[in-house]
Amino acid sequence: MKARLIRPFIISMVLLIASGCTEASSQRIEDYEAARKIFWRSLYSDGGSTLYCQRELGSSYNKGVNIEHVFPMSWVTYSLRCGKRKQCRNSSTEFNRIEADLHNLYPARSDVNKARNNYRFAIITGEARPFSGCDFEYDRRRHMAEPAPAARGKVARSMLYMEAEYDLYLKPALVRLMRDWDHKYPPEADEYQRNDRIEKLQGNRNPYIDHHRQ
């Protein structure tokens, strides 16, 4: 019990130290348009797989695949009180940096990305799977989405990173679920490699991935 209480504090301290160490040499990406180009040309230039459906990317990976913001940008605009997304892009440097953060960006099947919308992650009772070959459920009425177990750890570490890095608000129940998924579904080799790549491209790491190596 004590270990579970101490771990979030340790991660917060790692975030503070890491941000201080990279301040002088920061190469954070300025806006989403720049991030989108880096995403396809550098981060996923050698392929990979989509977040929710584990569909392998190839030479034609752009077809039917787009970029998912795991932590929804509509939640960010609400937190920053900067208006709609376009207004925030025009008025807020902070929003542009948040929208461009590669740690929050994953390739996703376009139809699944659209269905996820800005719904909160949750466990949905029942096994209705509307997408062929993809274990992804959503509830439009309750604004909920449930990713497959293979995606839950990545989702959790992106959400927790964004909350801590930018002081964004998450409801306590969602934080508990994300911490539970982070614990139950530790990173695999591809997530560690992705973190290494993002450090080279963006200048910082996701400590929620790194703490599993300790």
Phi, psi of 135 (to 5 degrees): -85, 80
Mean of the per-residue pLDDT values of the chain: 88
At position 130, the amino acid (one-letter code) is P
How far is Cα 175 from Cα 160, in angstroms, rounded to an integer? 7
What's the pLDDT tens digit per position in 85-131?
999 999 999 999 999 999 999 999 999 999 999 999 999 987 677 89
Could you give the 3-state DSSP secondary structure of residue 173? Answer: helix
At position 170, the amino acid (one-letter code) is L
Helix (H) or strand (E) holding 121: strand 120-121
- CA of 69: how far to CAs of 32, 74, 100, 132, 174, in Å? 11, 10, 9, 22, 17
What's the pLDDT tens digit per position in 139-185?
999 999 999 999 999 999 999 999 999 999 999 999 999 999 999 99
- CA of 93: how far to CAs of 57, 130, 165, 172, 202, in Å? 32, 38, 15, 28, 16
CB-based contact 29:38 (threshold 8 Å): yes
- CA of 204: how far to CAs of 26, 37, 185, 199, in Å? 8, 18, 23, 5
Q: What does the pLDDT read at residue 27?
A: 79
Helix (H) or strand (E) holding 48: strand 48-49
Q: What does the pLDDT read at residue 58?
A: 76
How far is Cα 204 from Cα 27, in angstroms, rounded to an integer? 8
When pLDDT is averaged across residues 4-11 and rounded to a whole number, the result is 48
Helix (H) or strand (E) holding 90: helix 85-91
Which of 18-22, 31-35, 79-83, 123-127 is the least confident region? 18-22
Q: What does the pLDDT read at residue 17?
A: 44
Q: List CB contacts of 61: < 8 A, sequence separation 6 or more.
A: 44, 47, 107
Query: Is the pTM higher than 0.75?
Result: yes
Q: What does the pLDDT read at residue 19?
A: 45
Q: What does the pLDDT read at residue 161?
A: 98
- Check whether 16 has a pLDDT greater than 60: no
